[in-house]
Structure 1
Amino acid sequence: MDTSTRERDIVKQVIQRYAQFKPSHGHIRLDTVFDDTQNRYALMQVGWDRGRRVRGNLIYVTLSEGKVWVEYDGMEQGITKDLIAAGIPPERIVLAFLPEEQTAATA
């Protein structure tokens, strides 16, 4: 298995684990969105909480230029440590939501 396929599988496994969590309140569904053609992977929340509509990304990761780009991480503990623990080297992870001078992953 080549590196990009392995990293794609790891990203999907980590997101799928988060998708198993049940939000603590409201009627909210967690949906995985996996696009292997464009290397885009997301966890979305959709539903209702306290009479208000809830929708949007919780996680958004892309694979590009031989790196794993964490575009958005709305998880309390963050997914970077999970990605590293699953086998992605820290130097291949870019925290794209930080200013460019701070984009190296720190675990």
Structure 2
Amino acid sequence: MDKIKQYEKAILSILDEYAKIKYANIKGGNEIIADKENHRYQVVTIGWDGDVFVHDCPMHFDIIDGKIWVQQNMTEWEVGEMLEEQGVPKSDIVPGFLPPDLREYSKYATA
């Protein structure tokens, strides 16, 4: 399996697991959006909390130049560690949600 397919599989396994979460207060749920051609992957929460419409993106990943960019992680999940457990090296995980000058202080890639 080539690297991009391996990384896509790792990302989708995390998103699949998160998408299974059910909410007591939201009539709706999580949906996975996967643009495999452009290597963009998200899970979105869509539904109603009483009379308030909920539309949120708790997780968003991209594969850019052979690296996984964690663009959004609004969960308590340590997605970097989860990716590492699936064979993705730290050098191929970029915390894209951090400003470029702060990424060097993470344990992951800067770009």
Matches within 5 A, 1:1-107: 1-103=1-103, 105-106=106-107
Separation in structure 1 between the aligned mates of residue 66 and residue 97 of structure 2, nearest angstrom = 18
Give the gaps of 5 or more residues in structure 1: none
3-state SS of paired residue (2:88) = coil
Number of residue pairs the alignment of both structures matches: 107
Structure 1 counterpart SS, 2:8: helix
Instruction: State the alpha-carbon separation in 1 of the partners of residues 101 and 28 from structure 2.
Output: 36
Residue 41 of structure 1 aligns with an amino acid whose one-letter code is Y
| Deviation (angstroms), 1:24 | 3.9
Q: 1:15 to 1:50 in 2, by over 3 A?
A: same
RMSD: 1.6
CA–CA distance in structure 2, aligned partners of residues 63 and 51 of structure 1: 37
How does the TM-score come out when normalised to structure 1?
A: 0.90
Identical-residue share of aligned pairs (%) = 23
Give 1:26 shift: 2.1
Query: Are residues 106 and 24 of structure 1, via their aligned partners in 2, closer, same or farther at CA, if it must alter by over 3 Å?
Result: farther
Post-superposition offset of 1:100: 0.3
* Distance in structure 1 (CA, Å) of the matches to 2:101 and 2:67: 16
Unaligned runs of 5+ in 2: none
Letter in 2 for 1:2: D
Deviation by residue 1:27-57 (Cα, 9 ceiling, x = unmatched): 1310001111000000000001132110021
